[in-house]
Structure 1
């Protein structure tokens, strides 16, 4: 094994020197300790743990000594190259490989004939290895598991899946070392205990210099709205890219990245070949080419999504641009760290607001970064669908006895409070599907043998389970390829299903014409650019975080006192002044409400600044609480800053709102929230995901691919059967709990109600719509009128408001709405951002 001197010589030959935190990691690893290394992006975390591994047991050639787990398979190639660089000199006999969803069957077979010393993998591929019949013999050799970007997994079911895999590996090797790497965590102790109980925390360099700038528009818009692509900022973005040698342009959605990439090419055709597109649906080979070209300095700009948030070492990147708000401090830090990605280098990120209120978010983000305020991530509590999947996986990987496995599972932090009743239910579910499915052989997946060891005796069911391991649930995707056979990318099945032959859409930076579809393949050819649709991908619409919302309210407090802390706040001063003149400014010490009457009805605009998810639940709750006493029809619209309730009949909000906002205990609030909305249909939708993870429905069978419509129909059938014949089914209960926690965030709603109940209520009755009310008005209109009518309606409204404010309405309303509608067709706003009509 290499000595510390050899390691230091290797570093010195590259002009580097070991940092104190890296030497600390090496000492802990030589002592056999597990740990969590927390340091800024680009500080040298990967080298700290990898060089520690080489020093701890680099002389060994044992197969599968190290498993390096990355949250994204797109990172595996870059990670593998980084590890090979050091191993080739310090441990030349070591062999390294990648094993992810992108690994071919031939590569997998080659690995299994002679396992590499270290493998870079994902949580899903690790669970697939646990499902091998020889898993105990193969995986008991593992001496170290490294979890890269632990913060990305911690608060998800994928993180729970990894927790269960780790406790399984520790059963086979109690001396297993586990190390996590993270740059953006607030709850370090909880994160460390979740990864490995008793592990040490090593804090690395936290003094990363980050320059956060905002690209301000030519003029302030006092009446702005969200939901468009932000392409009015295109000329300024082009100019900024032109001044730098290399840039990453982050967007929050894949459809937005496609549109911006095409817009940049249209603006600068001479950049063709020097700018590229990168997101998760682009073919893996093309993604790797983009990453390699960027590292080699061959590309001037890459337009990307969260696919480049993590891990990939882009040392040449000079600057990062974020289109629209990052919506969270941790996400901004992660993306900013893609530039200057090396110890001692300064990172540069420029925020490109898509509307005026995002300029306040930009100011608040910088303040939160300077104060070191980062959002915590909490591990899920005992998800039974993940447990059920794990039971089948373990049964395939050598089998289990229930009592021993229960003790093992309870060592995973997410299952530390798993009840005996839930455990017995899970066992019954994998044995015969529970009471309502007992008669169906397909659900008799795991049965005890004569020795009491639970195994999967049916080879067909075993193959089916292995084909569907994982907790990532998304719409079925189709491969898009040219008629000549060249594969371009993948796109959601629902998008292709809406197209007919001859339709044109943008994908991979190309205008493509659909020729035909066969199975799950869409054949296309290059088309002349025209009005293009955009591929639809779910997700990517991030709600504002509590940390950022609090920082925004603090900025409003300062503005109310006449203090404008930075150029962003000075720039939006006219907007804030108009808000204060016509109504009032929100703040951390008051709850602002605005009451108005118009031709549309009676409006309540409320500004809790709790994020769109909480506002959705709060809007439904308020409507329901009013409806208990007075039947009324309400339409609800929300955004990250507030909510609007529109009713046909007048409500005395000044008198009723304090009581309506009363905080209650969680159980009462839970019942009220469920009563206030179509909980059955929302729970049914949530159940589809749970059914997929638990093995009730399958994305695919060996030799068969099922459409998303088939999956949804199957899941809905089980949902109805359970409700009718097995109402105590714990997966039904989990669907309800996940609806409350994940989609409506009832705990955050409870905290918000408690906060609002303690604040004085300031009710304003402005003569006209305020700048804060206008974006909620737009959200309400989006669901009620066509694009053309919406443009006409907004043009009139803006003209009237600007005239009253002494200004001039913008002339590009229709253009911006067109971009917004493209986004709506391509990647619709989440359900919580849409206007909802509720009859009480």
Structure 2
């Protein structure tokens, strides 16, 4: 055995030798960097001992200098990851006989244990951003964190640039004020923006303050498309056609994770897999709406290797260390190369074994996207948007949290907040506007006592107006704003989890739906619980979860356009997809790498416009709104539109001819501003901002508001602020969120600039083209309801496909 590097104490080097291991160079580098007092960012692939590398300096320090009080704080983006890390970290601690207490603290932690942790904290505490935010808001935070030596931020790439990341960055700034010598450690497997990530980790928002430690190169990955016996669907997003092949892959492997992109899809895929499970293999379901106990059981079963497969959403994306996982199946494209690399990392936690993954496209366009993902993984290309400026609504919440912990001076906390990377460019005017809102609601709301939360003392400090306000604030801390949910309670049994209130209130007694992997019959709603019983049958109503679709990255958009424009790259595509593209090339045109292809054609007494813009669903939704408004002014009588990640279709009574006028960049001026101010999307965005900032409290002692109450209240306040204080800090936050999120102005602007530079190719056709069929089928899905929905939709699909794929020449010329 080669001698272990002397940087490790003997007890640790002996442990590595007893395990038959040698420390990875990056693990030793982390210990050395910590010895120099450096803040560090470790970038290493899954399975490379990244977690142990992050904790080694803490374990060594605690072994040689035993201390009471909190020494190391570990922040995980997932509850499941925190629990898993505790389980895995206990192995070396117990085997080396270290006297170190390690505990978790999340929303699932019982109240009595949370109280004990404040009074007698463990040396290592594993928690989430939300739980840290709650701790920061308490007066005991100064005592709890004063002994803190180190904070470890796991999967830091997944949280930087989000509102949860804003909250965490602000909390880190407070921790550094309480414990000035605190060292920060970031862990990540995929880093597309290293400078931004180092700046996020730094206690002074300076990227040069952080040392980057790089592990071994990315692990090899065997990634391929799953071939199916049935023909690929033209549209749809569930992938149920591939269930027989997915089941056969599960049978051939040890343990598999089946990743899907939405909770509704998870329920459907699990249900169909269970029907196909003739061998009674142990298969489980995991997503964020399931009851805590059920999630924990699934995680424990995966850890001890007793499951053959688990169907999961992003709830299992990050960090879970299950060495037994041999295969990852991704149903539907992951919408980004980085996300696929992250999910692939869940399989084959050995560096000498390639990770194995299968991609299952749910429709024909997704075949192109999946193929581009495979190419990106092979090249090691990382994608995703860089972190953006911190949200003003999160800032408002944090200011109130600081006041709940102790009185403060405005100048002091402004300087503290500017140390957080997302707020390093925060202006004093913006800060003062946020502080004013927290103090009394702002100019338009200050006459209402309910929003007077702070008062300025004669000594120049801000204090909470009364203790009840602090208690209510702590009940509402967090930046995850989901639809209001109701518990699902099984008659004669326990709670299965939660479903959205809007879905539950649309059910009638006797309706069936799939949840927690079971077919359930709706019996009624009692107080805050949905009562259900076990049902039979196979045609349920399925919960439709909000916000489930993942964003389509710019990198993938560019790759898909490049693939379409280059027939020589079609060799790896399935025969039926090549046939589809070849027929499109013969009938019309193929979208190019630059510019825009627009097709117009008549059908069933209406005129259709289909634009192959590839800007992502959110940008296309905004584009559809702006196009229809512009078409109204031109007298084209638009009737509606539908959008996917790839294409947008608009239909009306008259044909559009002047494409340059329709797609001019000036639509991002007055047209956009006017639409945004009246859009229901803006009101939904304001509702989320209002909840995060504390304007609307969802939870109060002894009660919780319904979704209707929250929406009604926020809509009224939105209208008041627009009339009387249009520059209110929460309206500023709403516009910023809308432009970067659901409206996605940045992607839309990039698309319109591409159109301007590359030009528009307009093809006038006498009927639907092969490439337009999928988006027209989306119209059919939205327009047909009732018991005959499936039959009518199938008839529409057959008619459209036959019309597009007929081999006779199609009229029409480029315009």
Fold match (TM-score > 0.5): yes
CA contact (8 A) 2:336 2:553 kept: yes
Q: 1:216 aligns with which of 209, 227, 230?
A: 227
Q: CA deviation at 1:601?
A: 1.8
The Cα offsets for residues 32-75 of structure 1, whole Å up to 9 and x where unpaired, read as 11121112222221011111222345423231111100111122
For 2:337 and 2:569, the matched residues in 1 are separated by: 23
Q: 2:214 aligns with which of 192, 203, 206?
A: 203
In the other structure, the counterpart of 1:813 is: none
Q: 1:187 aligns with which of 190, 193, 196?
A: 193
For 1:201 and 1:746, the matched residues in 2 are separated by: 33
Give the 5 Å matches for 1:822-833. none
Task: Give the TM-score, by structure 1 length.
Answer: 0.91
The CA RMSD measured in Å over matched residues stands at 2.2
In the other structure, the counterpart of 1:639 is: 644
CA contact (8 A) 1:564 1:570 kept: no
CA contact (8 A) 1:389 1:469 kept: yes
Q: CA deviation at 1:769?
A: 1.6
In the other structure, the counterpart of 2:235 is: 225
In the other structure, the counterpart of 2:45 is: 40
In the other structure, the counterpart of 1:502 is: 510
Are residues 750 and 619 of structure 1, via their aligned partners in 2, closer, same or farther at CA, if it must alter by over 3 Å?
Answer: same
Q: 1:380 aligns with which of 368, 388, 413?
A: 388
CA contact (8 A) 2:253 2:327 kept: yes
**2:494 paired with 1:486:** yes
Q: CA deviation at 1:157?
A: 0.5
Larger relative contact order, structure 1 or 2 (CA cutoff 8 Å, min sep 6): 1
The Cα offsets for residues 387-423 of structure 1, whole Å up to 9 and x where unpaired, read as 1111110111122110011011111122122222222
In the other structure, the counterpart of 2:775 is: 776
**2:741 paired with 1:742:** yes
Are residues 803 and 781 of structure 1, via their aligned partners in 2, closer, same or farther at CA, if it must alter by over 3 Å?
Answer: closer
Are residues 797 and 430 of structure 1, via their aligned partners in 2, closer, same or farther at CA, if it must alter by over 3 Å?
Answer: closer
Q: 1:614 aligns with which of 611, 615, 619?
A: 619
**2:649 paired with 1:605:** no
**2:546 paired with 1:538:** yes
CA contact (8 A) 1:339 1:347 kept: yes
For 2:42 and 2:227, the matched residues in 1 are separated by: 37
CA contact (8 A) 1:504 1:530 kept: no
For 2:789 and 2:698, the matched residues in 1 are separated by: 41
**2:140 paired with 1:130:** no
CA contact (8 A) 1:398 1:455 kept: yes
Q: CA deviation at 1:779?
A: 2.0
The Cα offsets for residues 144-203 of structure 1, whole Å up to 9 and x where unpaired, read as 111111122112111000010001111122211111111122111111102213212222
For 2:24 and 2:50, the matched residues in 1 are separated by: 10
Q: 1:265 aligns with which of 264, 270, 274?
A: 274
For 1:717 and 1:756, the matched residues in 2 are separated by: 39
In the other structure, the counterpart of 1:829 is: none
Q: 2:183 aligns with which of 172, 177, 184?
A: 177
Are residues 4 and 585 of structure 1, via their aligned partners in 2, closer, same or farther at CA, if it must alter by over 3 Å?
Answer: farther
**2:442 paired with 1:431:** no
Unaligned segments of structure 2, at least 5 residues: 1-5, 808-815
CA contact (8 A) 1:636 1:643 kept: yes
Q: 2:349 aligns with which of 341, 353, 360?
A: 341
- Three-state SS of the structure 2 residue aligned to 1:270 is coil
For 2:792 and 2:530, the matched residues in 1 are separated by: 37
Are residues 590 and 687 of structure 1, via their aligned partners in 2, closer, same or farther at CA, if it must alter by over 3 Å?
Answer: closer
Task: Give the TM-score, by structure 2 length.
Answer: 0.93
The Cα offsets for residues 640-684 of structure 1, whole Å up to 9 and x where unpaired, read as 1111122211221xxx223443445xxx82533233467343211
Are residues 671 and 118 of structure 1, via their aligned partners in 2, closer, same or farther at CA, if it must alter by over 3 Å?
Answer: farther
**Bigger mean CA deviation after superposition, 624-633 or 128-137:** 624-633
For 1:800 and 1:156, the matched residues in 2 are separated by: 41
For 2:497 and 2:604, the matched residues in 1 are separated by: 48
Are residues 790 and 593 of structure 1, via their aligned partners in 2, closer, same or farther at CA, if it must alter by over 3 Å?
Answer: farther
In the other structure, the counterpart of 2:811 is: none
In the other structure, the counterpart of 1:833 is: none
- Three-state SS of the structure 1 residue aligned to 2:798 is helix
CA contact (8 A) 2:488 2:529 kept: yes
**2:174 paired with 1:168:** yes
Are residues 726 and 589 of structure 1, via their aligned partners in 2, closer, same or farther at CA, if it must alter by over 3 Å?
Answer: closer
In the other structure, the counterpart of 2:332 is: 324
For 1:564 and 1:193, the matched residues in 2 are separated by: 42
- Three-state SS of the structure 2 residue aligned to 1:302 is strand
For 2:770 and 2:98, the matched residues in 1 are separated by: 64
In the other structure, the counterpart of 2:813 is: none
- How many residues end up aligned between the 2 structures? 795
For 2:797 and 2:239, the matched residues in 1 are separated by: 21
